[in-house]
Amino acid sequence: MPYIGNEVGNRFVASKAASVYSGDGSTTAFTLEHAVGSDEDILVSVDGVIQEPSVAYAVSSGTTLTFTAAPSSNSGNNIFVYYLFRTVATVDHPSTSSLLATDGTFSSTLNVTGETTLATHLNLGDNDKIKLGASGDLEIFHDGTNSNLKDTGTGSLNLIASTKVQVQGVNGETMAIFNEDGSAELRHNDVKKIETTSSGVTVTGGVTTTTASSIEGGVVFNESSADVDFRVESNGETHALFVQAGSDCIGIKTTSPNDYYADDLVLTAPDEGGMTIVSGTSERSYLAFADGTSGDARYRGYISYDHNTDDLYLGSGGSGHVHIGSTGTVLMPNQPAFLVRPTSTQSNISINAYTTIVFGTEVFDNNSDFASNTFTAPVTGKYQFNCSLYFTGIDTDTTFYQLYVTTSNREHLSIVSGDGFNADPSYHTINHSVLTDMDANDTCYIRLQIATGGSSSADLTTQTRFSGYLVA
């Protein structure tokens, strides 16, 4: 019919208000088309007679109408049920229209096949979850204390952005930034502390570790060569290991290795302490002094301990020179030491003149320091010299003998008088021992002067000896 006003829009369509059934004289139970809450929520008529609720009939399970006596089969459709009140049921909404509600409660599942737009908030209680995915693997919820974004499946939880992912606090403080094709940053109090770079990681400030760390590929500290010290603390030492960058020094248990003369590596032990080199029981331990990377340049000087024999060795010039045995014996095979004698009798020693004694035979010369009747000191030190001259052909006219141990800086004289001769002796011996200072390259040799009132000379036999060695 015609009407005044806007066109009527889509609306909910009401279900019919009555259900009709046919009695057969034997059936007492009929199924209602709509659920009701009690016997009084429907009006029942049989053959035009209104039936009394709970007496002529009763409703069970909301939808089963049961008569006390089976209705007759008079002319078919003779039972009418009118719905006075019905239980709330599902309402079909037109598929082409929007659903607009100001309030409401869904007690079961709400299935949405298209997009859903919320004009305001979606409020969920604690531990009520928004589940995403076919199996609900992604959950968003608040547990009463914390807010959670949780993946319960077997895949990854990915945060995807076109340029960067930024983590901020509610007050706007940036905590982390992850840039596409760029750096990742971690911040403290909105100040960048860790940043990844194309070559590695840049750390601003100190690094503290509470457990052991394993680093593969090596670590370079202070690659930019800045004047920045590096130190390692122990439980009792603030400078258990200390690199003093400005002085290019390394110290162990010292805060100032540059205070020492040889300061490349300084180990201090204010109390009892030191350095230990550990080797196997049948091996040797070395402390080497090198000036090259091949041959004996790798150990020009060294200290070595043989754990198999318990012998200690000291070496220089690439060779061992001092050997201390396990019982305390000290062997110095190259220690300056010599013993020489005349090869033949030196006859007719001139009288009243100085004569250099000739020693042509070396009994031994450890360091090859004796040559041409002369010993040359290889190093500065204290030297002991001993001389024993064995004479024949002596007469009583001899006044005295002067034996000189002559060094570069002094002469050491021993005088023997001939007054004691009662007759011309067959043999006579003169001995002289000297402990003297010598510098390196100083020399020492033996001279003799025979003073006599006669003309007879003396002969010096091969029993004569001259020896010397470095004392200290």
Sorted by where each begins, the domain ranges of the chain are 18-83, 164-203, 231-267, 284-331, 337-470
Question: ∠ CA 216-221-222 to the nearest 5 degrees?
Answer: 150
* Encoded tokens for 73: 């089969």
Position 379 pLDDT exceeds 90: yes
Give the residue-averaged pLDDT of 433-453: 92
**% the chain with pLDDT above 70:** 88
Higher-pLDDT residue of 442, 203? 442
Is the pLDDT reported for residue 190 higher than 80? yes
Higher pLDDT, 169 or 54: 54
The phi and psi torsions of 189 (rounded to 5 degrees) equal 55, 40
**How many other CB atoms are found less than 10 A from the CB of residue 221?**
8
- For 134-164, the pLDDT digits (tens) are 888 888 889 999 988 888 888 888 888 888 8
Q: What is the pLDDT of residue 215?
A: 76
Quick check: 188 and 207 in contact, CB under 8 A?
no
Neighbours of 391 (CB within 10 A): 23
d(CA 33, CA 45) in angstroms, rounded, equals 16
Q: Who's near 128: CB < 8 A, 6+ residues apart?
A: 141
Cα separation, 355 vs 404, in Å, equals: 10
pLDDT for 87: 67
> Which of 72, 89, 73, 74 has the alpha carbon at shortest distance from 32?
89
pLDDT digits (tens, 9 = 90+) for 320-329: 778 888 888 8
Cβ neighbours around 30 below 10 Å, total = 19
| CATH (residue range 337-470) | 2.60.120.40
Yes or no: say if 277 and 293 are a contact pair by the CB < 8 Å rule: no
Phi, psi dihedrals of residue 65, rounded to the nearest 5°: -100, 120
* pLDDT higher at 378 or 92: 378
The distance in angstroms from the start CA to the end CA of the chain is 141
Sign of torsion over alpha carbons 46, 51, 57, 62: positive
In this prediction, residue 107 has a pLDDT band, given cuts at 50, 70 and 90, of: low
Nearest CA to 383 out of 308, 433, 427 is that of 433
Span of 29-43, 59-73, 96-110, 421-435 with lowest mean pLDDT: 96-110
pLDDT in tens, 271-312: 888 888 889 999 999 888 899 989 989 889 989 999 999 999
Q: Can you give the C-alpha Rg of the chain in angstroms?
A: 60
- On average, the pLDDT of the chain sits at 85
Residue 450: HSE in the Cβ half-sphere, 13 Å Cα cutoff: 28
What pLDDT sits at residue 214?
Answer: 76
Tokens linked to 223: 């690659």
pLDDT, greater one: 183 or 422: 183
> Phi/psi of residue 272, each to 5°?
-65, 130
CA–CA distance from 76 to each of 24, 44, 69 (Å)? 8, 16, 17
Backbone angles phi, psi at 210, to 5 degrees: -100, -10
Whether this prediction's pTM lies above 0.95 is answered by no
- Average confidence (pLDDT) over 219-247: 85
Tell me: pLDDT of 19 over 80. Answer: yes
The answer, yes or no, to whether residue 122 has pLDDT greater than 90, is: no
* Alpha-carbon torsion (408, 414, 418, 423), positive or negative: negative
**Contact predicate 363/340, CB 8 Å:** yes
Q: Which of 210, 286, 460 is nearest to 360 (CA)?
A: 460
Q: Given a cut of 60, is residue 452 above it in pLDDT?
A: yes
Structure confidence at residue 210 (pLDDT): 78
Q: How is residue 316 written in tokens?
A: 């220089």
Residues in Cβ contact with 145 at an 8 Å cutoff, skipping those fewer than 6 apart: none
Query: Are 24 and 78 a contacting pair, CB within 8 Å?
Result: no
Tracing tokens 């030191």 back to the chain, one arrives at: 274
Mean pLDDT on 222-232? 83
- State how far the Cα of 371 lies from the Cα of 383, in Å rounded to an integer: 17
330-365 pLDDT per residue, tens: 887 778 999 999 999 998 888 888 999 999 999 999
CB 341 within 8 A of CB 361: yes
Which has more confidence, 290 or 216? 290
Residue-level pLDDT at 427:
78
Task: For CA atoms 178, 179, 184, 186, give the dihedral sign.
Answer: negative
